[in-house]
A = this chain, B = another copy of it.
């Protein structure tokens, strides 16, 4: 049961909602563009399906619609940005722009952000680097849903890492991944369908690996990439930890079990050591390393050679990270964005709340 809405319509509606909570015109447009980049790329869990969640955070006064976003510390290649409780959707592109400007000056720029909120998909921000012939690298922490290896306690968020690398003739390489076996969005899909999860995705409250897609809601935890020790979960745990440290310990944001939850009804953790959620955003100028032309020639060859790797099944070729999302985006820009009825009804009620006509 789906409704298909054009990108243009959905962008207009979402922008109006952000204007209605008091965002400036520029911020509302920026936030709507970032949020909808998820729907365009097929990451439905991170797009307009979350709009009402952001609004509830604003209602709970956990999001400031008019933040004074500022650099609180910097060197030629680094900065710490305080997001003043703004929408991550607004804070992160500003921080990434600072990283890009620093890279223009000294080759690379690295910005750690505190006092922010959820920033949509990491890929949007990392891909900002591409048009400047730079590599983008973006990560963020998030509230604890993941148990480290040997733990039954949730200590880390799904803490994604995205790296975007420009191609020449070939399209860019864009890898955007949660540091868990499976992202929470995939679990939600199985819950809705009443299906079990594969092994290695989740554990129950006692720390037993289970296949019940509802185990997370019942006090269980998502598992780090790898699933268990024998299959390398200590590596997934380490990756999630690196994201947490770069995003929050480096910036003065909250880390580990103290990261603010996305659902506004979940109480804030007590004794928080920092401010808000943390991100880490970096940009590296290609020609700070090599002539752009030489790099792009090799990157094109890299992409083609991997695409031509001998497949196990000739009907299922090797994929370059970013290929599937780019194909979905092309289709959805043309044909519109399919929304589950429940998501569309949720959007209608947000619109009604602010007397926005659809």
In contact, A305 and B274 (Cβ under 8 angstroms): no
In contact, A231 and B234 (Cβ under 8 angstroms): no
A283 vs chain B, min Cβ distance (A): 11
Number of interface residues of A (CB under 8 A): 84
- For window 150-172 of A, CB contacts with B under 8 Å fall at 150-153, 155, 163, 165
Partner of A306, one of B112, B155, B239, B285: B155
A146 vs chain B, min Cβ distance (A): 11
A7 at the interface (CB under 8 A from B): no
In contact, A298 and B249 (Cβ under 8 angstroms): yes
In contact, B312 and A226 (Cβ under 8 angstroms): no
- Chain B residues contacting A15 (CB-CB under 8 Å) are none
Known A-B contacts A106-B106, A182-B232, A249-B299; the reply to A309 vs B148 at CB < 8 A is yes
- Chain B residues contacting A236 (CB-CB under 8 Å) are 225
In contact, A290 and B250 (Cβ under 8 angstroms): yes
Partner of A234, one of B207, B301, B306, B321: B321
In contact, A234 and B148 (Cβ under 8 angstroms): no
In contact, A175 and B295 (Cβ under 8 angstroms): no
Partner of A227, one of B165, B231, B294, B312: B231
In contact, A150 and B311 (Cβ under 8 angstroms): yes
Task: State how many copies of this chain the complex holds.
Answer: 2
Known A-B contacts A151-B310, A318-B151; the reply to A77 vs B80 at CB < 8 A is no
In contact, B289 and A251 (Cβ under 8 angstroms): yes
Known A-B contacts A242-B163, A273-B301, A298-B252; the reply to A231 vs B200 at CB < 8 A is yes
How far apart are the CA atoms of A294 and B112 in the complex, in Å?
A: 15
A302 at the interface (CB under 8 A from B): yes
- Chain B residues contacting A225 (CB-CB under 8 Å) are 225-226, 232, 235-236
How far apart are the CA atoms of A164 and B245 in the complex, in Å?
A: 11
Residue of B nearest to A310 (CB): B153
How far apart are the CA atoms of A238 and B244 in the complex, in Å?
A: 20
Known A-B contacts A152-B312, A312-B150, A312-B152; the reply to A302 vs B249 at CB < 8 A is yes
* Contact pattern, A 280-304, Cβ under 8 Å of B = 1, otherwise 0: 0000111011100011001101100
A22 at the interface (CB under 8 A from B): no
- Chain B residues contacting A206 (CB-CB under 8 Å) are 312
Residues of chain A at the chain B interface (Cβ within 8 Å) = 73, 75-78, 80, 106-108, 110, 112, 135, 147-153, 155, 163, 165, 173, 175, 177-182, 198, 200, 206-207, 225-227, 230-232, 234-239, 241-242, 244-246, 249-252, 255-257, 273-274, 284-286, 288-290, 294-295, 298-299, 301-302, 305-306, 309-313, 316-319, 321
> 17 pairs across A/B with beta carbons < 8 Å?
A75-B285, A76-B76, A76-B107, A78-B284, A108-B110, A112-B289, A155-B309, A163-B238, A163-B242, A175-B238, A179-B235, A181-B226, A226-B232, A231-B231, A249-B298, A252-B294, A256-B306
